[in-house]
Amino acid sequence: MEALSDRPVHEASLNAANTKLSRLETALGKADRPDFGLCANGNNPFPPSRILLMPEATLCILCAEKS
Ligand SMILES: [Zn+2]
């Protein structure tokens, strides 16, 4: 096992991968809900790119910008 603290570059890419993974897991955990991918304010569907970038979002881009 390599010591990650000696490898700052590896550590940074590992952190980025972990962030991506946790976002995907969040999206996956919400995928079986009936409101998945829909805006909480008007039921507009999100574009898939928004779900992947911000799976924790409950508003579409238009509503998020207004609030
Ligand atoms: Zn909306």
17 occurs within a structural domain:
yes
Specify which residues 45 forms β-bridges with. 38
Count of structural domains within the chain: 1
What lies within 8 Å, CB to CB, of 5 at 6+ separation is: 11
Query: How close is the Cα of 26 to the center of ligand 1, in Å?
Result: 20
14 occurs within a structural domain:
yes
At 2-57, the pLDDT tens digits run 665 667 889 999 999 999 899 889 888 888 888 888 998 887 888 888 888 888 88
Query: How close is the Cα of 25 to the center of ligand 1, in Å?
Result: 23
The pLDDT of residue 17:
95
Query: How close is the Cα of 7 to the center of ligand 1, in Å?
Result: 43
2 occurs within a structural domain:
no
45 occurs within a structural domain:
yes
The pLDDT of residue 14:
95
Query: How close is the Cα of 24 to the center of ligand 1, in Å?
Result: 21
Helix, strand, coil distribution of the chain in percent, nearest 5: 55, 5, 40
Count of positions (residues) in the chain: 67
**CATH number for the domain including 37?**
1.20.120.910
16 occurs within a structural domain:
yes
Residue 38: domain span: 8-66
| pTM exceeds cut of 0.75 | no
Dist. CA 60–CA 53, nearest whole Å: 12
**Token pair 């508003």 is at which residue?**
59
